[in-house]
Amino acid sequence: MALQDNEKRDILKYIESGKPLPDKYRFLLFEDKQEVELVWNGKTDEVTNTVLPFQIIEQVDEPRSDKETKLQTSLFDDRGRQITDWTNKLIWGDNKLILSSLKNGPMRQEIEKQGGIKLIYIDPPFDVGADFSMNIEIGDEEFTKRPNVLEELAYRDTWGKGADSFIAMIYERLCLMRDLLAEDGSIYVHCDWRVNSYMRLILDEIFGKKNYINEITWKRSDSHNDGNRLGMVDDRILHYQKNENRTNNRQYQEYSEEYINDFYNKKDPDGRVYRLDHFTKPKGSRGYFYNYKTAIPPPNGWRCPIETMKKYDEGGLLIFMGNKVYKKRYLDEQPGNPINTIWDDITGQLGSQSQDYPTQKPEALIERIINASSNEGDIVADFFIGSGTTLAVSEKLGRKWIGSDLGKFSIHTTRKRMIGVQRQLKEENKNYRAFEILNLGKYERQHYVGINPNLREEEKAQQIAQKERDFVALILSAYKAEAFDGFKTFHGKKNSRLIAIGPINLPVSRLFVDAVIKEAVEKQITKIDVLGFEFEMGLFPNIQEEAQSKGIDLGLKYIPRDVFDKRAIEKNQIVFHDVSYIEVKPIVKKGSVAIELTDFSVFYNQDSLKEVEENLKAGGKKLIIDNGQIIKITKDKENVLSREVLTKKWTDWIDYWAVDFNFESKKEIIQKTNEEGKVEEVWTGDYVFENEWQDFRTKKKRDLILTTPPMEVVPGKRKIAIKVVDIFGNDTMKIIDITV
């Protein structure tokens, strides 16, 4: 770098005055960086390397039987079978932490044993004006569920600083995906006009220009010009490889009837349809270019006169008409025309595939990508799964899969969809794999509040204690409560109710609530709320009934994950809702047990009844949630208000329920790297919910079975777990003890 004296003086002047350097100095100072480069505000090469243990919260092994369920060794009929060499992964949480934990953690070894991830397809949110609300059917009406604050901030507020914040978000995640991808793997990134130009430059920088394969144009809909500009009917799919030896299976576009009629218009005596391709003379040659691979090559090479071609055309593959030579190309020799970069043969219409999910893509589109860049048995991954299309197609095509999403509703939608795929494959006598639902759970919470999971247990406990003290103030602020001291278990007060906050890293236990009730009795406190991220299973409603018998009004409320974003608190958007509860009736007979679901209660609120009624325009209507009831408010043309409760029975709140007939039979084991760098398995103290029977609503099936078929069981004591997922995707679990 040779700067002139006046240039040095100018640079110092800019630095001393705190002004940015003009671009010409950037290139003078960094000569090796003169190539084209994408630069944005806050750009950094730092990529997270956080490793958090994955918690298995549910396992779905096989489709349920509609008939009597037999012992564990023969639970289901013999149609199809479960493949046991790999369990598919459906992961709920922030995909940055998930990707980092997959890349750097113990699960990487499990992935590498399977050959690594051969294909990644992602369709990240790229619409600055997108509405990520969900429409949920309630009878003949549709209720619009707003995304929770974390989803809204993660998706919509990704655009808070315009393109800068989106690029920063996707850049780090794509770096992690590249490192996680197998050496012979590919990535497809789906985008549209909003971010296409940025995404191409980002991928060039991360994967290298030499690993660019294609920019595919998918014509997703017909023209819809708005008068001001041409209709935008296409998306772009960018395809990159990690290295040169990627999987590459040629794909074909089916011939149209019109194409066949125009070109394949001849038949052999045996009925085979063919067309004639004309052989032409190469420039400067007296003979014909003989390149039909299935004919016997002539001895003098690939160029020869007609008479020589006739001599070696033993199979009648060539046709000679005068001085012209033609070869036969049979219709059945290839399935269609090789596809190019314009995909106009796959409609964006979803039809029966629709999951009522925004940005959902047709299965045929994903099927083409998976077939082109992976083989049966390969691992396919999608880290923005939406409604789970990539996972559904992967399962149908015999691929293993990993999928993740931040949205809990997305995870629930995908769970139902994958169970449906399992059932379909079983009906077709095809094999399928079990899948497990994982999250980062308490470890993700520790990460959000800055707890280092790699510390020794004693050091970690000290750090947790300090962080909990710091975080209590934040939770009380979100709950709009006033903090005060002087109690063993209580942290604050809201109106006439005292507030106790459970631990960050553990579920609220029976012992914790007992201690809260004991202090309330001692201090003659009659109204208390216990806030927790998780609650010990089976705690509710028994503990509330016990508290009520002592003259205490006890509320148990979930702390939403939204509290981890201070912006959500500042916007006053945090909603704490009461713990839902389940009532069931076990039907025990000699050697068998069935479960009847008898009640389910929720206590959600969304929107203010009073505010909606005041602001609703004449002739309008709006659906709201008020204390666990969905209410339709209408105002007629004369401004007369009316209310109608749409959730007329408790089953209206249930979207899905499942039973584990032998809970505590499978311990939850996590893998952790110890101080010596070795991977060890540790029991968390919890158990995995094994989904042995389930029933749920679909677009076509709106009713629910409320009693399971009898399960044949071994006599003795056992715990049975019942899980209910409500129409918003939130789950509640109850455990009962029975003796058979």
What's the per-residue H, E or C state across 229-269? CCCCCEEEEEEEECCCCCCCCCCEEECCHHHHHHHCCEECC
- Tell me: do 246 and 159 sit in the same domain: yes
Residue finishing a domain among 546, 570, 594: 570
User: How many other CB atoms are found less than 10 A from the CB of residue 337?
Assistant: 12
Mean pLDDT (whole number) for 187-198: 88
In sequence order, which ranges of 361-456 are alpha helices (DSSP H)?
Answer: 363-373, 389-396, 408-427, 441-448
| Residue whose C-alpha is closest to residue 652's, from 594, 697, 713, 711 | 697
260 and 403 fall within a common domain: no
652 lies in a domain? Answer: yes
* Predicted confidence (pLDDT) per residue in 636-681, tens digit: 888 888 888 888 888 988 989 999 999 888 887 777 777 677 777 8
The conformation of residue 707, written as its DSSP 8-state character, comes to B
How many contiguous H segments (helices) and E segments (strands) does the chain have?
18, 38
Q: Which domain covers residue 566, as residue numbers? A: 450-503+506-570
Who's near 279: CB < 8 A, 6+ residues apart?
Answer: 288, 289, 290, 318, 324, 325, 326, 327
| Lowest pLDDT segment from 503-507, 606-610, 619-623 | 503-507
Distances in Å between the Cα of 237 and the Cα atoms of 213, 219, 479 are 11, 11, 44
Where among 542, 570, 598 does a domain terminate?
570
Torsion of CA 425, 429, 430, 436, to 10 degrees: 50
**Residue at 443 is within a domain:** no
Would the pLDDT of 41 be above 80? no
- The answer to whether residue 74 sits within a structural domain is no
pLDDT at 208: 92
User: Is residue 72 assigned to a domain?
Assistant: no
Q: Do 559 and 685 fall into the same domain?
A: no
Report the number of distinct structural domains present in the chain. 5
Highest mean pLDDT among 46-50, 373-377, 734-738: 373-377
Query: Beta-carbon neighbour count of residue 35 at 10 Å?
Result: 6
pLDDT band at residue 294, thresholds of 50, 70 and 90? very low
Q: Per-residue confidence at 71, pLDDT binned at 50, 70, 90?
A: very low
Report pLDDT digits (tens) over 461-480: 777 677 777 778 888 888 88
Cβ(615)–Cβ(622) below 8 Å: no
Query: Do strands 82-92 and 731-739 pair parallel, antiparallel, or not at all (unpaired)?
Result: unpaired
Task: Specify whether 372 is located in the same domain as 244.
Answer: yes
The average confidence (pLDDT) of the chain is 80
Quick one: CA torsion of 409, 415, 416, 422, rounded to 10 degrees? 160
Q: Which of 112-121, 280-289, 380-389 has the lowest mean pLDDT?
A: 280-289
More confident call, 17 vs 210:
210
Q: Is the pLDDT of residue 610 over 70?
A: yes
Q: What is the mean pLDDT of residues 92-117?
A: 91
Q: Over range 518-530, report the average pLDDT.
A: 92
On whether both 620 and 562 belong to a single domain, the answer is no
Type of residue found at 76: F
Buried b / exposed e over 151-167, threshold 16 CB at 10 Å, is: bbbbbbebbeeeeebbb
CATH number, residue 357: 3.40.50.150
pLDDT-based confidence at residue 67 (cuts at 50, 70, 90): very low
pTM confidence score: 0.76
494-497 long-range contacts (CB < 8 A, ≥24 apart) are 494/529, 496/527, 497/527, 497/528, 497/529, 497/555
- The larger pLDDT score, comparing residue 95 to residue 287, is at 95
- Between the alpha carbon of residue 306 and those of residues 163, 323, 324, 523, the distances in Å are 64, 8, 8, 109
- Residue scoring higher pLDDT (277 or 376): 376
Whether residues 215 and 246 share a domain: the answer is yes
44 lies in a domain?
Answer: no
Cα–Cα dist 113/329, whole Å: 44
Give the mean pLDDT of 586-605: 88
**Are 247 and 260 within one domain?**
no
Residue 156 domain flag: yes
- Give the whole-angstrom CA distance, residue 116 versus residue 101: 15
Going by C-beta distance under 8 Å and a sequence separation of 6 or more, which residues neighbour residue 689? Answer: 57, 58, 59, 658, 660, 663, 721, 723, 733
What pLDDT is stored for residue 268 in this prediction?
85
Predicted pLDDT at 65: 45
DSSP H or E segment with residue 459: helix 457-478
Residue 337: the pLDDT is 84
* Residues 241, 119 share a domain: yes
| 398 token code pair | 């015999």
Q: How far is CA 510 from CA 514, 517, 549, in A?
A: 6, 10, 16
Give the residue from 518, 549, 570 where a domain finishes: 570
From the list 442, 446, 488, the residue with the least C-alpha distance to 468 is 446
300 and 266 belong to one structural domain: yes
The winner for highest mean pLDDT among 2-6, 563-567, 575-579, 584-588 is: 584-588
- Cα separation, 6 vs 15, whole angstroms: 14
Least confident of 343-347, 449-453, 587-591: 449-453
Who wins on pLDDT, 650 or 533?
650
**Does 40 map to a domain?**
no
Higher pLDDT residue, 602 or 397?
A: 397
* Residue 106 backbone dihedrals phi, psi, to 5 degrees: -60, -30
pLDDT over 60 at 68, yes or no: no
Alpha carbon distance 544, 514 (integer Å): 11
Q: Are residues 244 and 267 in the same domain?
A: no
Same domain, 285 and 352: no
Lowest mean pLDDT among 13-17, 218-222, 225-229, 472-476: 225-229
Omega prior to 541 cis, within 30 of 0: yes
Residue 499 pLDDT class (50, 70, 90 cuts)? very high
Residue 82 within a domain: no
Q: Tell me what pLDDT residue 232 has.
A: 82
pLDDT at 283: 55
Give the integer Cα–Cα distance in Å for 618 and 667.
57
Are 479 and 620 found together in one domain?
Answer: no
